[in-house]
Structure 1
Amino acid sequence: MFDTEAVAYLRSEAGAQALGEVSGRRLAGASLVSDIAAVRTQFGDRAGILVETVQLRRRAAAKFDDPGQWLFTDEALQQATAAPVAAHRARRLTGARVHDATCSIGSELVALRDRAAQLVGSDLDPVRLAMAAHNAGGIDLCRADALAPVTRDTVVIIDPARRSGGRRRFDPRAYTPALDAVLDVYRGRDLVVKCAPGIDFDALAEMGFGGEIEVTSVGGSVREACLWSPGLTEPGVRRRASLLETGEEISDGEPDDCPVAPAGRWIVDPDGAVVRAGLVRHYAARHGLWQLDPDIAYLSGDELPAGVRGFEVLEQLHFQERRLRAALAARSVGALEILVRGLDVDPDALRARMRLRGTEHLAVVIARLGSGAASRATAFICRPSR
């Protein structure tokens, strides 16, 4: 739907005025059809790009602080880095000369604008480049293939496309550009690559990547894995978890001496970035916690670390639905949060089978503890700290 002519119109005074008028419409629910018909009557063939731009701006509010003047395509918005994550990456690149070689619509460029000593963006897609010129005005842009370097002595940022036709690509060799090709082309240079959080760490090693893998979360939700070449990280650090909600960072350069012991007063379910980065033991050691099982990410302690949400243990029992249902009924539980690791249990289906009727709001933490014949499915009835 979008081409360079459409982008030029949207950037014009007439386009901005039209977008302002269309943004006053609900464009949803029962009025959607009539709203689109009215926009088509007023703006003719340009109705499609106007309606889609307004709708994309509304969706973008989940990623950007103020997307009301931005231009997007659907796929570019899906892949665009959320503002807090882009700002975090930009802080790590303060004072560097940076080339965003897959700049797309410019979300990383905007975050880097006040951090980088020098900044340039490039992309192969002329439509996205035109949108970047609008979104990140004043930054030098050029059309170039990320696999054909056009800068020297810069930190190169690559954000390969991980979708095609709306479908996710899970094999990093199927990214655009392919991750193995990116690592080969920029081997020996300072490089930052944004990847899906579920990327196979072993596959990265097979490709020859020897830098740092940083897993980042916002609000407890894992957003991405970012690859930092060796020249951009601390010596010896290969994995890092960055929890942007609390500002906490932890790496494998820290101690991981963490015992395994029965549950204490509190159970802690570490942030997903900590778990994904394989830093559960490091996190536990930092906060004076221990593991309930060496293969399960749940941690425990007699004191809850500051700022960390935990679950105060009220009762421990062998996990059987009948026994758990009776225990919850005895405590008059009416609302139940369910956390599960190591067992094939659907929390929503289990909650429905508990037939909750009371007024208390509690949680149950379920895990398989132990190994082999000695393993035991265990449930902890808990009170959430918040």
Structure 2
Amino acid sequence: MTYQLSEADVAFLRSRYGSKALENASELALTASSLLGDLTTLRARYPEHAAALAETVRARRRAAGKLRHAEALIADETAVQQATAAPVAALRAADIVSRHRGAVVHDITCSIGGELLALAGEPGLAGVIGSDVDPVRLAMAQHNLDVGLGAGRRPTLLRADALTPVSTADVVIADPGRRNARGRVFGMDQLDPPLLELLSVYAGRALAVKCAPGLDYRNLRTRFGFDGQVQVVSLDGGVREAVLWTELPDAPANRASVLRTAPGGLTSLYEVTSDDPDDLPEPGVDEWIVDPDGAVVRAGLVRQYAHARGLRQLDPQIAYLTGDAVPAGERGFRVLERLPVTEKVLRGALAARGCGSLEILVRGLDVDPDRLRKRLRLKGDAPYALILTRIGRTGAAFLCEPGVRA
């Protein structure tokens, strides 16, 4: 189910009656299998807003653990899916304060207000502005800011097109839409608004543009002359975004920011930059194989990461690392034996060890892990990991103990 809320829906949901209706709707399962029946129940009591109630409750459930005050948000599932996770937004707000203390910040694609909540909580900023071309999203943002900030300082909200500057804010944030009617889009010119237009309209101003993690930033540099910083951010092992920062004199060209949450809501961070040293020992194979965080890999900072942690590469062109220990907080695989990438040999080695479950990691080879796992016909009980990669021009398989996090 995908339902786009209207301004009338949002006004109803913000009312006292709507709030009670949301409480009642939250008691329903609203799963894929129960949705039709649950909507029938809601229509009997709230005929004009049944779909909006179901959509909002489902959006709140999707937002749990991702956005602040998820239990009280007004949003649709699409907006929640596109919204920046709270720890990532908090990191960006802190970045802006560290570089532009006392600035006014304008989020020109503020949507339901997730980024604004993080910015408004920073005392080092002089002011926060949010704008969006969609009046429904602005109405949602107003509610979400009311819930999230209470009596605290409120951002100014405006309706405006992102490509029409309406403020002289010191820092501008943009999050171009990455979906259209046919689904997810990947080309820079397919974003809404298009990336190159954003960079042109706000040329000469401090700008942070949130992009998909798979952005071809190398092409952006070489073909279109982008000379700002590319920051790749991950959260709990998942790469979330690539951020383009402009007007940052002397900043490293590339930066990887790795966020991890812990019980109690605490968030830890480490960063690697292209200014860090990257000299390494000769490649080889040690006791452990380490698969660096995806942000490090996508930012092209594997060597810098390895240098800081006393690791080396299996091969200069491959992102797997190796060492005598696993760095704190990272996941490593203890090597048991090295094998050729031959199904017959792999099947025999796994059968000899009684392998029943197998995690397969692949880098540098054209191998489908799921198809290979089926062909290996595992029959035992023991868990193992298999790392398939390339050393020079030759494929190599490393049979390992299950991955462990140090």
Contact 2:233-2:242 at 8 Å conserved across structures: yes
Q: How far did 1:63 drift?
A: 2.2
Alpha-carbon distance in structure 1 between the residues aligned to 2:224 and 2:194? 11
From 187, 194, 213, the counterpart of 1:197:
213
Higher mean alpha-carbon deviation, 193-202 vs 300-309, is at 300-309
Alpha-carbon distance in structure 1 between the residues aligned to 2:356 and 2:66? 34
Match status 1:367 vs 2:374? no
Q: How far did 1:189 drift?
A: 0.8
The equivalent residue for 1:349 is: 371
Alpha-carbon distance in structure 2 between the residues aligned to 1:18 and 1:77? 21
SS of the residue 1:44 aligns to: coil
From 168, 171, 190, the counterpart of 1:152:
168
Match status 1:129 vs 2:138? yes
Alpha-carbon distance in structure 1 between the residues aligned to 2:33 and 2:381? 37
Match status 1:243 vs 2:252? no
Q: How far did 1:203 drift?
A: 3.2
Which residue identity is paired with 1:235?
D
Q: How far did 1:166 drift?
A: 5.0
- Runs (5+) with no aligned partner, structure 2: 147-153, 261-267
- Runs (5+) with no aligned partner, structure 1: none
The equivalent residue for 1:26 is: 29
1:268-324, CA deviations, whole angstroms, 9 ceiling, x for partnerless residues? 111111111011111111111111111111111122222211111111111211111
The equivalent residue for 1:378 is: 396
Alpha-carbon distance in structure 2 between the residues aligned to 1:31 and 1:280? 47
Contact 2:56-2:77 at 8 Å conserved across structures: no
Contact 2:176-2:210 at 8 Å conserved across structures: yes
Judged with a 3 Å threshold, the aligned counterparts in structure 2 of structure 1 residues 39 and 153 are, in CA distance, closer, same or farther, namely closer
Match status 1:285 vs 2:307? yes
SS of the residue 1:378 aligns to: strand
Which residue identity is paired with 1:121?
G
The equivalent residue for 1:109 is: 116
Q: How far did 1:380 drift?
A: 0.7
Higher mean alpha-carbon deviation, 213-222 vs 355-364, is at 355-364
Match status 1:223 vs 2:240? yes
Which residue identity is paired with 2:323?
G
From 246, 256, 270, the counterpart of 2:278:
256
Alpha-carbon distance in structure 2 between the residues aligned to 1:176 and 1:337? 38
| Count of residues paired in the alignment | 380
Contact 1:212-1:229 at 8 Å conserved across structures: yes
Contact 1:133-1:139 at 8 Å conserved across structures: no
SS of the residue 2:208 aligns to: strand
Alpha-carbon distance in structure 2 between the residues aligned to 1:75 and 1:306? 36
Q: How far did 1:155 drift?
A: 0.5
| 1:156-195 mapped onto 2 (5 Å cutoff) | 156-165=172-181, 167-195=183-211
Judged with a 3 Å threshold, the aligned counterparts in structure 2 of structure 1 residues 337 and 194 are, in CA distance, closer, same or farther, namely same
Contact 2:385-2:399 at 8 Å conserved across structures: yes
TM-score (norm 1): 0.94
From 356, 362, 367, the counterpart of 1:340:
362
1:63-100, CA deviations, whole angstroms, 9 ceiling, x for partnerless residues? 22431111113332221111121111111122432111
| 1:314-333 mapped onto 2 (5 Å cutoff) | 314-333=336-355
SS of the residue 2:48 aligns to: helix
The equivalent residue for 1:4 is: 7
Identity of aligned residues (%): 51
Contact 1:289-1:301 at 8 Å conserved across structures: yes
| 1:73-88 mapped onto 2 (5 Å cutoff) | 73-88=76-91
Contact 2:283-2:316 at 8 Å conserved across structures: no
Alpha-carbon distance in structure 2 between the residues aligned to 1:165 and 1:62? 28
Match status 1:45 vs 2:48? yes
Aligned-pair RMSD on alpha carbons?
Answer: 1.6
Higher mean alpha-carbon deviation, 236-245 vs 198-207, is at 198-207
